Amino acid sequence: MKKLSKVNWIWDHGKVYSELTYEDGRVEFKENKKPPPTRACHDIAHFICGFNGKLEWDYTHMINQVSEYNAVFAESLLTNYCYLKYSKTIKDISVASKRIFEHMKWFSEEYYRIKEYHPTKKNYLELQKNFLEKINFDIMCHHFKSFYYTWVIEDKLKTKDFRICIQMNDLNNNTDEELYDYLNLVKENITTMV
């Protein structure tokens, strides 16, 4: 897993351009001229996992189910928090936790069928444990603004037809104590579910 140190990302009406700088200084360019089936903020979730350095995150690998799982987990955590922050629709953390748990179970077991198709053969509880042990909530908090701005634009416009440029680096120091507390509460709730 290559750890990211800097990302320049452009979403241009569904076309995606990324300049990725890794911690060893290597730079890689990625381009996707067709709109992906995911939301724009899903890319930011991949990058958050990439800044973490301990999680699979690169969606361009041939076997990318675990990378997608990690990004969807990060996206689910942050999207639920976005609703809380923006529209105050989540009042109960246990409800949000259950929704995230069920979504990730479905994603792993039914949608991507990771246990069947991925070489690791990990089930949804093993994938969940791996993600929650390795994700760094400080990094999620540092990059939340990039995720949030992208989420708000797409959510409020109800379209992928917009342009946004995001720069992220490992020096970001945005701290959101409310988000940090939320992430820890959700983690605590999720780890007790089976």
The count of structural domains within the chain is 1
Q: What pLDDT is stored for residue 13 in this prediction?
A: 93
Pairing of strands 4-12, 163-169: antiparallel
Residue whose C-alpha is closest to residue 46's, from 26, 35, 60, 25: 60
Higher local confidence (pLDDT), 53 or 88 = 53
Q: What pLDDT is stored for residue 31 in this prediction?
A: 93
Higher local confidence (pLDDT), 145 or 89 = 145
Higher local confidence (pLDDT), 88 or 30 = 30
Please state the φ and ψ torsions of residue 24, each to the nearest 5 degrees: -85, 5
Q: What's the mean pLDDT when you consider all of the chain?
A: 91
* Residue 89 clears pLDDT 70, i.e. is over it: no
| pLDDT category of residue 169 using cuts at 50, 70 and 90 | very high
Higher local confidence (pLDDT), 79 or 85 = 79
Q: Which residue segment(s) compose the domain that 84 sits in?
A: 4-190
Q: What pLDDT is stored for residue 79 in this prediction?
A: 95
**pTM for this prediction:** 0.94
Q: How far is CA 121 from CA 14, 24, 25, 132, in A?
A: 33, 31, 33, 18
| pLDDT category of residue 172 using cuts at 50, 70 and 90 | low
